[in-house]
């Protein structure tokens, strides 16, 4: 069988702090095949973004370091790559879209120029005005010839996010990492951007890593879901299966705290307690102090990630009782 597009094995990430190295990702394994969409879900601070940034080694080092594990993109070992090889991965294989489009666009340049610069960097043979217009059209921007001459502030948040997606697509990535791409947008625009991602993924055949704290948006888009808590994956399953019958108590709690329509940009607050800070993870099951079905032995030993069905794993020995 050919290599998956992305294979992360037992990844451990640490940050240097005043008190020493703090582990923020602790033994995470994820796989994405060509054309597949994986949603990475979990509350704020559980390690989703740092995991995603490590795929193209975008975490500044120091303060970050890869303390263990393996990251392979299209069969190539990212951890061992030179900066030149990393540039080829960033340009040609993996592209990112982040939460705040306004913060990532340069306010003093027209958006068309910014897309053309992205083309110049990744596909110089195609850095033309025609290609800029084609990309703007691809992401659903009306009157693209005119909009290309706009400055970012002349566009709404939703249109700015479309421009960011166009810039990410300029390199024809095989994996698009979308880190909370709709969190900063209002609810109707969120739905439109998610529709766009779904449409693009189908038309371009690219794989997507969709990061979100809202399980409510993964159903239509993701093939599989991985749920993170306190630096670990606690459950992974095909999306339909996970949404129908979540196994881990944390996943169940997340399902019950899906933001309602109209309040979708709210941070999750419904699960009592907070995610423990890195370095302060409780012993045994890290979710035990907040778990509604905790048992006396849950704090004693760390539960392994159990394979409970083909393609489904859960880090709770009591998922089935």
Q: From the CB of 153, what's the least distance to Mg ion, in Å?
A: 25
Q: From the CB of 11, what's the least distance to ligand ATP, in Å?
A: 12
Residue 45 interacts, among ligand ATP, Mg ion, none and using kind-specific CB cut-offs from 5 to 8 Å, with ligand ATP
In angstroms, the Cα distances linking 31 to 47, 195, 229 are 16, 24, 18
Query: What value, to the nearest 5°, has the Cα angle with vertex 178 and ends 43 and 36?
Result: 100
Which H/E stretch holds residue 227?
A: strand 224-229
3-state secondary structure of 312: strand
| Nearer of residues 49 and 171 to Mg ion, judged by Cβ | 49
Site string for ligand ATP, 57-96 (x = CB under 6 A): ------x---------------------------------
- For ligand ATP, the binding residue among 7, 41, 48, 276 (CB under 6 A) is 48
- 55, 47 contact by CB (below 8 A): no
| Nearer of residues 39 and 136 to Mg ion, judged by Cβ | 39
Q: From the CB of 305, what's the least distance to ligand ATP, in Å?
A: 18
Q: From the CB of 199, what's the least distance to ligand ATP, in Å?
A: 25
- 14, 67 contact by CB (below 8 A): yes
| Nearer of residues 49 and 214 to Mg ion, judged by Cβ | 49
Restricting to residues 172-231, which ones interact with ligand ATP according to CB under 6 A?
A: 213
Q: Which two tokens stand for residue 308?
A: 């409970």
Q: Number of residues in contact with ligand ATP, rule: CB under 6 A? A: 13
- 238, 224 contact by CB (below 8 A): yes
| Nearer of residues 36 and 180 to Mg ion, judged by Cβ | 180
Site string for ligand ATP, 10-39 (x = CB under 6 A): -----x--------x---------------
| Nearer of residues 177 and 193 to ligand ATP, judged by Cβ | 177
**47 is a contact residue toward ligand ATP (CB under 6 A):** yes
| Nearer of residues 202 and 269 to Mg ion, judged by Cβ | 269
DSSP3 helix / strand / coil % (the chain, rounded to 5): 35, 25, 40
Give the whole-angstrom CA distance, residue 55 versus residue 15.
16
Restricting to residues 255-314, which ones interact with ligand ATP according to CB under 6 A?
A: 278
| Nearer of residues 97 and 135 to ligand ATP, judged by Cβ | 97
- 80, 25 contact by CB (below 8 A): no
Q: From the CB of 267, what's the least distance to ligand ATP, in Å?
A: 8
Give the whole-angstrom CA distance, residue 76 versus residue 129.
34
- 215, 268 contact by CB (below 8 A): no
C-alpha dihedral sign at 86, 92, 94, 98: positive
Identify any residues that bridge with 14 across adjacent strands, giving them in sequence order: 23, 65
Give the whole-angstrom CA distance, residue 158 versus residue 146.
17
Site for Mg ion, rule CB under 5 A: 49
Residues lying near ligand ATP in the complex (CB under 6 A) are found at 15, 24, 42, 44-50, 63, 213, 278
């Amino acid at each position: 069988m050919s290599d998956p597009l992305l294979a992360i094995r037992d990844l451990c990430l640490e940050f240097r702090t005043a008190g020493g190295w703090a582990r923020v990702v602790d033994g995470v394994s994820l796989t994405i095949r060509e054309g597949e969409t994986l949603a990475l879900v979990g509350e704020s601070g559980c390690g989703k973004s740092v995991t995603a940034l490590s795929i193209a080694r975008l975490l500044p080092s120091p303060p970050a370091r890869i303390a263990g594990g393996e990251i392979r993109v299209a069969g190539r070992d990212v951890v061992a790559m030179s900066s030149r090889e990393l540039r080829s991965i960033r340009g040609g294989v993996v592209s990112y879209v982040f939460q705040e489009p306004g913060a990532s666009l340069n306010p003093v340049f027209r958006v068309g120029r910014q897309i053309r610069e992205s083309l110049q960097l990744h596909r110089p043979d195609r850095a033309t005005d025609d290609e800029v217009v084609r990309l703007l059209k691809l992401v659903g921007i009306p009157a693209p010839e005119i909009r290309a001459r706009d400055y970012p502030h002349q566009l709404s948040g939703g249109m700015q996010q479309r421009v960011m997606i166009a810039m990410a697509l300029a390199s024809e990535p095989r994996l698009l990492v979308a880190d909370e791409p709709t969190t900063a947008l209002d609810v109707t625009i969120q739905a439109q951007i998610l529709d766009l991602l779904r449409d693009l993924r189908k038309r371009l055949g690219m794989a997507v890593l969709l990061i979100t704290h809202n399980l409510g948006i993964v159903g239509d888009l993701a093939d599989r879901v991985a749920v993170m808590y306190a630096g670990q994956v606690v459950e992974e399953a095909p999306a339909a299966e996970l949404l129908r019958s979540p196994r881990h108590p944390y996943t169940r709690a997340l399902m019950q705290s899906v933001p309602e329509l109209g309040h979708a940009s709210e941070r999750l607050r419904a699960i009592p307690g907070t995610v423990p800070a890195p370095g302060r993870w409780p012993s045994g099951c890290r979710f035990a102090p907040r778990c509604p079905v905790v048992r006396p032995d849950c704090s004693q030993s760390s539960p392994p990630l159990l394979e409970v069905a083909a393609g489904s794993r859960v880090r709770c020995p009591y998922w089935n009782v």
